[in-house]
């Protein structure tokens, strides 16, 4: 029976009850060693009636072995892998070394884990000491934990307090020390024979930590327990609590004979709990067979089948720290010998731990381990193995190469601080041009992820030069990234330098020409830019652009030239391909661009569906800058709908972070979403201020033309309605150049609308009429409807009410279809002013009652996809898909999926 944890037990009981009802949840128990995390996990296991239980614990020595923790957790159910979708099953087999190596990485493995756990539900999944999980396992499990919904799965993690972990951001239950009453009850239960003043001292020293309350008395001699001499032989009060408990465990171990201490030391440095290996290694060091019995009798070590486990991780720490260095090295050597060739990864690490100087054979073994880790997507493990291999490498050139590889792996693992630190070491160790260029790529990656795209672009531009002649393809990749980073940071001059150098290196390839066009567009030269940007669009139309990154850029050329249909033709199949091939890391980027394109094409509902999915995936994959930009896209959709609370809550924090980081693109999009919100609510002066600020960009680089490409009409209307039309002159002049170069009818319509707003009454009607004719040729329905609304208002004021109604009706229909509530209300008001009695052009759509995710699910179901197929597409579990369908059917007025196709979803 646990003492003093009633509230925590109630939380766990609630989670278990939810699982029995088919609902899922994940929880992190966080606290200092000995605070009761493991005991609460045991409580949950004991209370999991009706639930299957899977459990494991992180092992510090295996924190560098990719998917080691996940393999231990799922080992009992690996026979169920065949029920998974083929690609997920292959990813899981590859991760565990049961199939061919792939490059799927932890995220697709995480999707496989989600599917497998859902198939095993109702289920309790328990991970103790999760801070020691290898990074690949932690990423896969947290990906699954963040996506469980309606499967009946509970995931419980226990982690030590302090420090960042992959579990940060999940729901947490912090554990604190027991109160005085509970502490007194616990010590009475375990050490009732203590003298009064000794008991008081132990309680004071334990600070409510249950393990300390139990173990500190165990370290006392009978005389100390009785109070005949000072209760503790050293001043525990000067030590942190963890050290006090560790000292107590060390005192217990010190009383054992030498052979038993040897066995404990070997078990402590082995850590995997492999009893056969421990016994063979300990025997080689002279531990007798009786040591096993003595270790078990001490209570410090226990055995289950062929596995050994310490009473608490602090026992392991105490045994290792009390042992002299020579004995620790000997233990590692003995373990390496006992492991043999059957376990090359573990053997390599024990040999490395036993090494006291450079040793190429050992270093080569670790390098092989790193290669195997990389093949399984274990980049953190690859980093550690290469970094240690470099320390053991006698040849300076080979050492530098391994350090560079370690820095690259650390960047792939998302460990920016470690990547930067290793890169600095490697830079001091080499002058080789190729290695120096690779290091520049690493440093640029670190700067970009930290929010400094312009610093990243400068590093790439400088770093590409030394290899441009001998390695043009690698230099070209760096220079292309430099152009893109300059765009994100808003520096036209830097973008032009990188683009020109790219043309020098690879010549006039479609990609290089298009990026040169992007640099010119940023600098305010659309006439020169547009033809260059269309070169890549044409190449994509011929099927000549195949790489995921290149397809994203090609689609961006469509967006930036105003050719939304061309962009959509690239992004829709790109998203589909990314789903089919499990490119989870790329998918948020593709979804963001697709959502923006859909907004321009008037598909606001679809844009919200894809942007929300992008946010969920970007959060799961740690792409925080992408999360903020996607939130700004959602803020734009909320602004269009007039949802002030949603727009502000999405845009304002994202803008603040983007400005701090110097991400001009994100800050500008967020600002423009807020400006559209203000414009829809009639706050014209505030909208104008925002748009002018957005046109200036952030930092040193102006993004004026880039921002005004799509929102110049907003700025002109805001200036006119605010009574300050002169503040629209610059925006209109810049938009005019872009509009003419774009050759897009919708852009011509917006330009004519702006002229109508700014001209005399006599000319306004002519410009408005020409604008309506231009819009009729296609493109951006929201802009067309706004032109119709403004022209209708002008006609109504001119008492030409019948003509006004002919424009206001289609405008209202478009606004209502997009869910643009403030704009629809303006159109209704104008219609009423013309004498039109009707106030709506359409009935409420059943689709409007669906959540974005429900809409996504029913559309796929209407295409004939099974729940399992839909789950694989959306990176959810089949049970969650079933739940969404169950909720959607009544909203749509159907009872089964067979009725969905007739709804025209």
CB 826 within 8 Å of CB 789? yes
Cα gap 40→10, rounded to integer Å: 11
Task: Kindly report, residue by residue over 832-876, the tens digit of the pLDDT.
Answer: 999 887 566 565 667 778 888 888 888 889 888 888 888 888 888
Please tell me the distance from the alpha carbon of residue 850 to that of residue 853, in angstroms, as a whole number. Answer: 8
The Cα-based distances of 89 to 117, 361, 373, 578 in angstroms read: 13, 36, 19, 18
In a domain, 281, yes or no: yes
> What is the phi-psi region of residue 91: left when phi exceeds 0, alpha when psi lies from -120 to 50, beta otherwise?
alpha
In the listed set 174, 191, 217, which residue is the last one of a domain according to the structure? 174
- 75 lies in the same domain as 206: no
- Quick one: 239 and 260 in the same domain? no
Structure tokens given for 854:
């429900």
Residue percentage of the chain with pLDDT more than 70: 95
Same structural domain, 21 and 146: yes
Whether residue 300 contacts residue 320, with contact meaning beta carbons closer than 8 Å, is answered with: no
Whether 219 and 156 map to the same domain: the answer is no
Domain boundary among 140, 174, 208: 174
DSSP 8-state secondary structure symbol assigned to residue 274: B
d(CA 651, CA 464): 36
What is the predicted pLDDT for the residue at 305? Answer: 76
Domain containing 37 — which CATH number?
3.40.50
* 69 and 169 both lie in a single domain: yes
- What is the residue-averaged pLDDT of the chain? 88
Preceding amide of 655 cis, omega within 30? no
Six-digit token string for 516: 């040169």
Residue 440 lies in a domain: no
Contacts of 604 (CB under 8 A, 6+ apart): 598, 637, 640, 641, 818, 819, 820
The answer to whether 616 and 583 have CB atoms below 8 angstroms apart is no
d(CA 585, CA 139): 12
Exposure string of 409-438, with b = 16+ CB inside 10 Å and e = fewer, is: bbbbbbbbebbbebbebbbebbeeeebbbb
For residue 567, the model assigns a pLDDT of: 95
Domain membership of residue 243 (yes or no) is: yes
| Region for 871 from its dihedrals, namely left if φ exceeds 0, alpha if ψ lies in -120 to 50, beta otherwise | alpha
Tokens of 101: 């190596």
pLDDT of residue 844: 61
Q: Do the Cβ atoms of 396 and 426 come closer than 8 Å?
A: no
* 301-304 vs 25-31, strand pairing mode: unpaired
pLDDT value of position 842: 60
- 342, 589, 593, 610 from 703: Cα distances, Å: 59, 21, 19, 26
Domain limits for position 195? 180-253
> Could you read off the pLDDT of 885-898 as tens digits, one per residue?
888 889 888 888 88
- 236 and 265 fall within a common domain: no
| Structural domains of the chain, count | 5
> What's the half-sphere exposure (Cβ side, CA atoms, 13 Å) at 651?
27
Q: Quick one: 80 and 156 in the same domain? A: yes
Tell me the backbone φ, ψ of residue 307, rounded to 5 degrees: -120, 140
Which pLDDT score is estimated for 709? Answer: 67
- Domain assignment present for 219: yes
CATH number at residue 803: 1.25.40
Asked if residue 273 and residue 229 are part of one domain, the reply reads: no
Alpha-carbon distance 336 to 396, whole Å? 27
In a domain, 327, yes or no: yes
| 231, 253, 275 - which closes a domain | 253
- Asked if residue 338 is part of any domain, the answer here is yes
Q: What is the CATH number of the domain that holds 861?
A: 1.10.10.10
**Residue of 761, 762, 753, 702 lying closest to 732 (CA atoms):** 753
Instruction: Please give the Cα distance from 516 to 502 (Å, whole number).
Output: 8
- How far is residue 566's CA from residue 555's CA, in Å, rounded to a whole number? 7
Burial 65-74 (b: 16+ CB within 10 A, else e): bbbbbbbbbb
Name the burial class of residue 502, with classes exposed (0-12), middle (13-18) and buried (19+) by CB atoms within 10 angstroms of its CB. Answer: buried
User: Do 106 and 26 have their domain in common?
Assistant: yes
What is the C-alpha separation between 274 and 350, in angstroms, rounded? Answer: 14
Query: Do the domain assignments include residue 572?
Result: no
pLDDT at 236: 46
State whether 804 and 893 are in the same domain.
no
Q: Would residue 155 count as lying in a domain? A: yes
Q: Which residues of 296-320 are buried (b: 16+ CB within 10 A; e: fewer)?
A: eebebbeeeeeebebbbbbbbbbbb
List of the chain residues with pLDDT < 70: 100-106, 162-164, 228-241, 696-709, 838-845
Chain centroid offset of residue 594 CA: 19
Rounded CA gap, 313 and 100, in Å? 35
Whether residues 11 and 91 share a domain: the answer is yes
Q: What is the pLDDT of residue 697?
A: 53
Instruction: Specify whether 769 is located in the same domain as 791.
Output: yes
Q: What is the pLDDT of residues 163-189, one digit of tens each?
A: 667 777 789 999 998 888 988 888 888
Residue-by-residue DSSP string for 245-264: HHHHHHHHHHTS-HHHHHHH
């Amino acid at each position: 029976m646990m003492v003093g944890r009633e509230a925590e037990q109630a939380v766990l009981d609630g989670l278990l009850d939810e699982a029995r009802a088919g609902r899922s949840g994940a929880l992190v128990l966080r606290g200092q060693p000995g605070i009761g995390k493991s005991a609460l996990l045991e409580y949950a296991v004991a209370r999991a009636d009706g639930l299957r239980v899977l459990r494991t614990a992180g092992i510090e020595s295996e924190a560098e072995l990719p998917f080691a923790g996940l393999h231990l957790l799922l080992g009992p159910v690996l026979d169920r892998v065949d029920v998974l979708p083929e690609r997920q099953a292959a990813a899981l087999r590859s991760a565990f070394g049961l199939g061919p190596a792939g490059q799927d990485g932890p995220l697709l493995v995480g999707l496989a884990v989600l599917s497998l756990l859902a198939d095993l539900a109702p289920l309790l999944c328990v991970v103790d000491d999760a801070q020691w999980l290898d990074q690949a396992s932690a990423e896969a499990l947290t990906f699954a934990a963040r996506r469980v919904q309606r499967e009946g799965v509970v995931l419980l993690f226990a982690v030590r307090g302090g420090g960042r972990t992959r579990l940060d951001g999940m729901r947490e239950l912090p554990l604190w020390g027991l109160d005085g009453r509970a502490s007194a009850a616990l010590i009475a239960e375990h050490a009732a024979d203590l003298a009064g003043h000794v008991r008081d001292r132990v309680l004071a020293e334990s600070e409510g930590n249950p393990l300390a309350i139990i173990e500190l008395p165990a370290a006392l001699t009978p005389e100390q327990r009785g109070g005949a001499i000072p209760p503790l032989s050293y001043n525990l009060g000067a030590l942190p609590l963890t050290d006090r408990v560790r000292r107590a465990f060390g005192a217990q171990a010190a009383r054992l004979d030498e052979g038993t201490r040897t066995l404990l030391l070997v078990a402590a440095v082995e850590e995997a709990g492999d009893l056969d290996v421990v016994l063979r290694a300990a025997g080689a060091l002279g531990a007798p067979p009786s040591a096993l019995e003595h270790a078990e009798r001490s209570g410090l070590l226990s055995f289950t089948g062929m596995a050994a486990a310490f009473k608490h991780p602090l026992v392991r720490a105490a045994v290792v720290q009390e042992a002299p260095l020579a004995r620790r090295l000997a233990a590692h050597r003995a373990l390496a010998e006992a492991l043999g060739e059957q376990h090359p990864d573990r053997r390599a690490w024990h040999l490395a731990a036993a090494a006291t100087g450079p040793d190429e054979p050992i270093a080569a073994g670790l390098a092989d381990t790193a290669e195997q880790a990389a093949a399984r997507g274990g980049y953190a493990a690859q980093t550690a193995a290469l970094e240690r291999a470099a320390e053991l490498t006698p040849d300076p050139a080979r050492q530098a190469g391994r350090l560079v590889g370690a820095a690259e792996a650390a960047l792939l693992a998302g460990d920016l601080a470690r990547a930067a630190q290793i890169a600095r070491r490697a830079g001091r160790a080499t002058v080789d041009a190729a290695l120096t260029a690779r290091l520049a790529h690493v440093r640029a990656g670190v700067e970009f992820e930290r929010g400094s795209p312009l610093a990243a672009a400068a590093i790439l531009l400088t770093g590409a030069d030394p290899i441009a002649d001998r390695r043009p393809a690698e230099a070209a990749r760096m220079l292309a990234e430099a152009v893109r980073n300059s765009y994100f940071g808003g520096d036209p001059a830097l973008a032009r330098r990188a683009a020109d150098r790219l043309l020098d290196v690879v010549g006039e390839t479609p990609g290089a020409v298009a990026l040169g066009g992007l640099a010119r567009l940023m600098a305010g030269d659309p006439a020169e830019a547009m033809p260059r940007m269309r070169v890549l669009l044409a190449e994509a139309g011929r099927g000549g652009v195949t790489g995921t990154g290149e397809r994203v850029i090609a689609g961006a050329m469509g967006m930036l030239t105003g050719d939304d249909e061309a962009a959509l033709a690239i992004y829709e199949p790109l998203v589909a391909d990314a789903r089919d091939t499990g490119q989870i890391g790329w998918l948020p980027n593709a979804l963001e661009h697709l959502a923006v394109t859909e907004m321009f094409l008037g598909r606001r509902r679809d844009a919200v569906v894809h942007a929300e999915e992008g946010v969920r995936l970007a959060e799961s994959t740690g792409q925080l800058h992408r999360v903020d930009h996607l939130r700004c896209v959602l803020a734009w959709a909320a602004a269009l709908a007039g949802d002030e609370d949603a727009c502000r809550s999405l845009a304002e924090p994202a803008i603040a972070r983007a400005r701090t980081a110097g991400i001009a693109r994100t800050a500008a999009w967020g600002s423009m979403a807020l400006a559209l919100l203000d414009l829809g609510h009639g706050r014209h002066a505030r909208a104008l201020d925002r748009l002018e600020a957005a046109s200036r960009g952030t930092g040193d680089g102006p993004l004026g033309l880039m921002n005004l490409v799509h929102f110049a009409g907003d700025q002109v209307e805001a200036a006119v309605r605010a009574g300050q039309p002169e503040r629209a002159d610059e925006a209109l002049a810049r938009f005019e150049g872009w509009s003419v170069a774009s050759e897009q009818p919708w852009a011509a319509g917006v330009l004519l609308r702006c002229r109508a707003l700014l001209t005399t009454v006599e000319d306004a009607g002519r410009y408005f009429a020409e604008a309506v004719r231009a819009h009729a040729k296609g493109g951006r329905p929201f802009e067309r409807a706004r032109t119709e609304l403004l022209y209708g208002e002008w006609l109504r004021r001119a008492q030409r009410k019948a003509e006004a109604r002919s424009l206001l009706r289609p405008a209202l229909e478009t606004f209502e279809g997009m869910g643009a509530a403030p704009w629809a209300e303006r159109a209704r008001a104008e219609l009423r002013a013309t004498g039109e009695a009707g106030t709506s052009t359409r009935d409420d759509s059943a689709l409007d009652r669906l959540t974005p995710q429900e809409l996504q699910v029913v559309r796929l179901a209407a295409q004939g996809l099974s729940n399992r197929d839909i789950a694989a597409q959306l990176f959810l579990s089949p049970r969650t898909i079933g739940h969404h369908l169950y909720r959607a059917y009544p909203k749509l007025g159907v009872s089964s999926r067979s009725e969905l196709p007739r709804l025209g979803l």
